[in-house]
Amino acid sequence: MNKFLRIQERAIYRWIRPLFDPVQFGLGVIRYLSFLRDLIAYPKLGGAEHIKLSDTFPCIYDKTQTTAFDAQYFYQDIWAFKKIQESKVENHVDVGSRVDFVGFLTAITRVTFIDIRPLKANLPNLNSKKGNILAMPYKNDSVRSLSCLHVAEHIGLGRYGDPLDPSGTIKACKELSRVLAVGGSLYFSVPIGTPRLCFNAHRIHSSKQILQYFGSLELANFSGIDDNGNFKKNIELSMLEGSSYACGLFHFVKHHKTA
């Protein structure tokens, strides 16, 4: 009986949940009517499939004219992937980036993924280590290929279980600089625009601030995604200044050993 009730409770939750979207509530009611029409019409088509009410999953927001995507994550992952592929490195270290990106990288090189929350996935070419971006398990000047995408803006805000630290982003940049090898490349991204703190989600920095944080490295090139979701390749830093929430894509190279 308890199992039956749990099944029914989950079904009720799946039916109610779509209506609790405050942005699309009005649209949700209209889409629900469409869902109900389809639910009634489907059994009349004569298929062998039987619809159990407890197995219904109302997906009412997927009838869109175009495929939705997050422009910042979409373009940044492609940008970094192409650069790593073109470098032909045999080993790469990623710190906290999206796990889809990390997984795709394993198709072209050996990847070590560092995060305070280890990735428990079984993939050839993947080594996951529990680690802290503020104290990485590497010696000075030891990592030739390194990425950290849409991560440093969160450090020190407690969002992912890390300790509160107002200097979290600055310290993260310093640590990435420390472990990067001479001649090595760092592929780095953060939100760019008018500097502000959006506690406890993220920080937004100016491009100039990021250059200051990586003062020991040289900027090889800069790309980005503007406020309208447009990818801009090899642009001037000034092109994203004054943005609300753009994304800066920084390719840094190290020329001198850590002091």
Query: What pLDDT is recorded for position 259?
Result: 82
Ranges of beta strands (E only) in the chain are: 91-95, 110-115, 126-130, 143-149, 180-192, 196-198, 202-204, 218-225, 231-232, 246-253
DSSP β-ladder status, 231-232 and 126-130? unpaired
Residue 247's closest CA among 116, 67, 79? 79
Q: What is the DSSP string of 92-157?
A: EEEES--HHHHHHHTTTSEEEEEESS------TTEEEEE-BTTB-SS-TT-EEEEEEES-GGGTTS
Q: Tell me the three state secondary structure of residue 229.
A: coil
What is d(CA 177, CA 171) in angstroms, rounded to the nearest whole number? 10
Question: What local confidence, expressed as pLDDT, does residue 21 receive?
Answer: 66
Q: Which of 248, 223, 240, 238 is nearest to 83 (CA)?
A: 223
Whole-model pTM over 0.85: yes
CA pair distance 242, 195, nearest whole angstrom: 9
Tell the CATH superfamily of the 71-253 domain. Answer: Vaccinia Virus protein VP39 (3.40.50.150)
Q: What is the DSSP letter of 189?
A: E
Q: Residue 62: what pLDDT?
A: 86
How far, in Å, CA of 247 to CA of 72, rounded? 6
Tally of CB atoms within 10 A around 129:
13
Split the chain (259 residues) into runs of 10 and give each run's mean pLDDT: 58 71 66 88 88 84 90 98 98 98 98 95 96 96 98 96 96 98 98 97 97 98 98 97 97 95
Using an 8 Å Cβ cutoff, are 227 and 243 in contact? Answer: yes
Q: Where are the domains of the chain?
A: 2-55, 71-253
Burial level of 132, CB count in 10 A (0-12/13-18/19+)?
middle
Backbone angles phi, psi at 181, to 5 degrees: -80, 155
